[in-house]
């Protein structure tokens, strides 16, 4: 029987395909818009096509028994809302509709913790039973489209009894994010482009652990509903301090009042000019960074037996990979971590990053 992965060229999808192959799954099929040499080298079946095309979708689902739906578009630009809806809502509906007549064991869908896990209250921690945060998401098309995607899945569960499980990872970190879809803010920090201390808090999880959770959700007979996936809830101040300890790059010390961060580009730029600095952070990112994205992933731990790795291991791997791969960081070579053993990151991670750099 065949296992289908959509979005296999993305940060999460690639980690998932890698783990499936390592586990010995012999019939893995990946839907991708363009041929991908790295995936081909793993021995998976590549089907070139798009979720936009009903014909492509019908072709790629033929004979599949397991489906990991990871296709997505991460954007903070509101002008690209229609593209996010096309992928997350229309694409998901088209895929599920094509699967209605297939004998699938389970469909594991990639959602996001941002559907429920955001608040201006630092004491709030979302659970899988928390309501949708549409009061925040209506300003951010990515999260609003993911809420709509979840509602599409729920409708197919209710109307057609389809075996769908929805996974809600927080910010994905770790090695291998060639598009900087998730690690972009860490990259900005390492390039010293985060000049101010922001007031909110974040949750994050290792992309490899998230991929493992997806597989556990597929293989656990009792799995149902949604599963939040996070390894740490930290203030942004603590997050940057830990990045400083790992990289030697100084964390920002200057703070801006929360109210100032919500006034948009002009006020932010004016405030930063007072300190003689320029920020590469866009207004949407700054607004999001003033909120708290804390979640509780105990349901996944309890029902799936999922255990994320130590958060500092994830940060170390993320920093080392970016220092070895990112064009703006690799020229000067990776900085030595401050106060930590040099062999903390597995050697294979470093070697893989160097290979990626040579092949780009």
pLDDT, tens digit, 9 for 90 and up, residues 243-294: 999 999 999 887 766 665 555 444 555 555 555 555 565 667 778 888 999 9
Integer Cα distance of 41 and 59 in angstroms = 23
Calculate helix-pair angle for 236-247, 311-325, nearest 10 degrees: 60
Q: Identify the band that residue 139 occupies on the pLDDT scale cut at 50, 70 and 90.
A: confident
Q: Are strands 232-235 and 201-206 parallel, antiparallel or unpaired?
A: antiparallel
Q: Identify the band that residue 299 occupies on the pLDDT scale cut at 50, 70 and 90.
A: very high
Question: Under CATH, which number does the domain 2-238+290-359 receive?
Answer: 3.40.50.720
The predicted pLDDT at position 334 comes to: 41
Task: Please enumerate in sequence order all residues whose Cβ is within 8 A of that of 200, keeping only pairs 6 or more positions apart, or say none.
Answer: 235, 236, 288, 289, 290, 291, 292, 293
- Total-model pTM: 0.86
Residues 89/152, Cβ–Cβ less than 8 Å? yes
Q: Does the pLDDT of residue 236 top 50, yes or no? A: yes
In the predicted model, what is the mean pLDDT of the chain? Answer: 87
Single out the residue of 182, 194, 190 nearest to residue 332, CA to CA: 190
Mean pLDDT of 219-242: 96
Sign of CA dihedral 283, 200, 231, 190: positive
Integer Cα distance of 41 and 63 in angstroms = 23
Least-confidence region, from 14-28, 76-90, 162-176: 76-90
The predicted pLDDT at position 51 comes to: 96
The predicted pLDDT at position 74 comes to: 85
Instruction: Name the most confidently modeled range: 88-102, 195-209, 336-350.
Output: 88-102
Q: Identify the band that residue 107 occupies on the pLDDT scale cut at 50, 70 and 90.
A: very high
Q: Identify the band that residue 197 occupies on the pLDDT scale cut at 50, 70 and 90.
A: confident
The predicted pLDDT at position 80 comes to: 83
**Number of residues written out for the chain:** 360
Integer Cα distance of 97 and 53 in angstroms = 13
Integer Cα distance of 237 and 242 in angstroms = 9
Residue 328 tokens read as: 């703006």
Integer Cα distance of 300 and 250 in angstroms = 35
The predicted pLDDT at position 180 comes to: 84
Q: Does the pLDDT of residue 308 top 50, yes or no? A: yes
Give the number of other CB atoms < 10 A from CB of residue 205.
26
Q: Does the pLDDT of residue 354 top 70, yes or no? A: no
> Cα-atom radius of gyration of the chain, to the nearest Å?
20
In the chain, the percentage of residues whose pLDDT exceeds 90 is: 67
The predicted pLDDT at position 335 comes to: 43
Give the number of other CB atoms < 10 A from CB of residue 106.
19
**Domains of the chain: which residue ranges?**
2-238+290-359
Residue 45 tokens read as: 């079946």
């Amino acid at each position: 029987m065949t296992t289908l992965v959509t979005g296999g060229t993305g940060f999460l999808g690639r980690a998932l395909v890698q783990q499936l192959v390592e586990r010995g799954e012999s019939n893995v099929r990946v839907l991708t818009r363009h041929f991908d040499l790295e995936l081909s080298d793993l021995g998976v079946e590549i089907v070139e096509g798009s979720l936009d095309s009903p014909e492509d979708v019908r072709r790629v689902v033929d004979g599949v028994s397991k489906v990991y739906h990871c296709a997505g578009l991460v954007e903070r630009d509101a002008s690209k809302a229609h593209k996010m809806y096309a992928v997350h809502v229309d694409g998901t509906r088209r895929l599920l509709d094509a699967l209605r007549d297939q004998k699938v064991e389970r469909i594991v869908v990639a959602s996001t913790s941002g559907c429920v896990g955001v608040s201006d209250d630092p004491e709030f921690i979302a659970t899988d039973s928390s309501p949708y945060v549409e009061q925040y998401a209506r300003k951010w098309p990515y999260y609003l489209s993911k809420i709509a995607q979840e509602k599409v899945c729920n409708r197919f569960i209710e109307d057609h009894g389809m075996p769908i499980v929805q996974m809600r990872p927080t910010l994905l970190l770790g090695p291998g994010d060639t598009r900087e879809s998730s690690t972009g803010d860490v990259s900005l920090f390492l390039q010293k482009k985060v000049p101010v201390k922001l007031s909110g808090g974040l949750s994050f999880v290792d992309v490899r652990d998230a991929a493992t959770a997806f597989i556990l959700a597929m293989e656990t007979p009792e799995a149902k509903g949604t599963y939040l996936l996070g390894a740490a809830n930290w203030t942004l101040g603590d997050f940057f301090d830990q990045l400083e300890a790992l990289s030697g790059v100084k964390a920002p010390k200057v703070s801006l009042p929360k109210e100032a961060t919500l006034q948009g580009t002009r006020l932010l730029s004016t405030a930063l000019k007072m300190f003689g600095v320029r920020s590469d952070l866009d207004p949407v990112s700054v607004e999001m960074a003033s909120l708290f994205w804390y979640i509780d992933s105990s349901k996944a731990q309890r029902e799936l037996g999922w255990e994320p790795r130590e958060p500092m291991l994830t940060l170390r791997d993320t920093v080392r990979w970016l220092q070895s791969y990112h064009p703006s960081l690799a020229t000067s070579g990776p900085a030595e971590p401050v106060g930590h053993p040099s062999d903390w990151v597995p050697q294979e991670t470093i070697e893989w990053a160097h290979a990626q750099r040579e092949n780009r």
